[in-house]
Amino acid sequence: MTDTTQTPAGLVIEKRNWKFGRDMQPRRWWHGGDAGRTAFYNALSSTFPVGEKFFMSAVRHYRDGAPEPLREQIDDFIFQESTHSREHIFFNRQARDAGYDLASAEDRAARTIAWAKRRLPLMQLAATCALEHFTALLANAVLSDPAHLAGADIEAQRMWRWHAIEEIEHKAVAYDTWLHATRSTPRWMSWSLRSLAMLSAAVRFHWVVFRNTRDLLQQDGCNDRATWRRLLAWLYDYPGPMRLLARGILDYLRPGFHPWQHDDRALAKRALASLTPPLITPLPR
């Protein structure tokens, strides 16, 4: 088992202060007019502001003792996650404007994060590593197959693709922080702790996202077998995003795992080149 980073040398985690959808009217079923797909993405988005705040805090805890270039990567990670949180706060506001009540979804995510914050800082970091692996896997799925966002409103597509690109760019920052934080921990113990955190995160992630999806479908009067059958087929049939996630959990449990053993920088680069220019706010000097 290796306990050193496999992050590519010279990896750039870009600071992009991009904004999306500020001049568009919200549409209730923005994902191709499909209630199930819209509900799933809205359910996922409802977890991001509180979740990303937790990720930033968990990684920031180890920043001051981290070596370069990890310390700089942590700063870039925090910047990207803060802009993701801002854009999902706006995206969630649009969902409310379209008529959805997200209170129960956001409360469920907040209670899950509150439970995680009662754990030791090292286990909060382990949970962050697991959930960052989830977002990187979902990002790869979204960018690999245009069908995942086919038919979605253009600004929503661009926001989710931008988010996916940046999740790939910084996908190993939390994990490299874990390697640094556990550098003096026996390897078997480090593996056991991160595996335990992954299994717990997997259960809680699925519970929160699918309960949130159910709540939103109930608001549309679509919480029925036909809707769920179509949604689950889209999520888990090849090449569904959640099918890739399930395989990725097993990969994560391997001794010696590292996020950059799957190098998808070229995928992110192609996706970035395809994005039309967004509304950009200059970074402060």
The predicted-structure confidence for 58-112, as pLDDT tens digits, reads as follows: 999 999 999 999 999 999 999 999 999 999 999 999 999 999 999 999 999 999 9
3-state secondary structure the chain: CCCCCCCCCCCCCCCCCEECCCCCCCCCCCECCCHHHHHHHHHHHHHHHHHHHHHHHHHHCCCCCCCCCHHHHHHHHHHHHHHHHHHHHHHHHHHHHCCCCCHHHHHHHHHHHHHHHCCCHHHHHHHHHHHHHHHHHHHHHHHHCHHHCCCECHHHHHHHHHHHHHHHHCCCHHHHHHHHHCCCCCHHHHHHHHHHHHHHHHHHHHHHHHHHHHHHHHHCCCCCHHHHHHHHHHHHCCCCHHHHHHHHHHHHCCCCCCHHHCCCHHHHHHHHHHCCCCEECCCCC
Tokens encoding 128 = 């962050």
Q: Could you list the pLDDT tens digit for every one of the 285 residues in the chain?
A: 346 789 999 899 999 999 999 888 778 999 999 999 999 999 999 999 999 999 999 999 999 999 999 999 999 999 999 999 999 999 999 999 999 999 999 999 999 999 999 999 999 999 999 999 999 999 999 999 988 999 999 999 999 999 999 999 999 999 999 999 999 999 999 999 999 999 999 999 999 999 999 999 999 999 999 999 999 999 998 878 898 888 899 999 999 999 999 999 999 999 999 886 554 544 443
Domain positions in the chain: 29-276
Where does 29-276 sit in CATH, by number? Answer: 1.10.620
The pTM of the full predicted model, rounded to 2 decimals, is 0.93
Quick one: residue 15, left, alpha or beta (phi over 0 = left, psi -120 to 50 = alpha)? Answer: beta
Give, in order, the Cα–Cα distances in Å from 237 to each of 230, 231, 276.
10, 10, 30
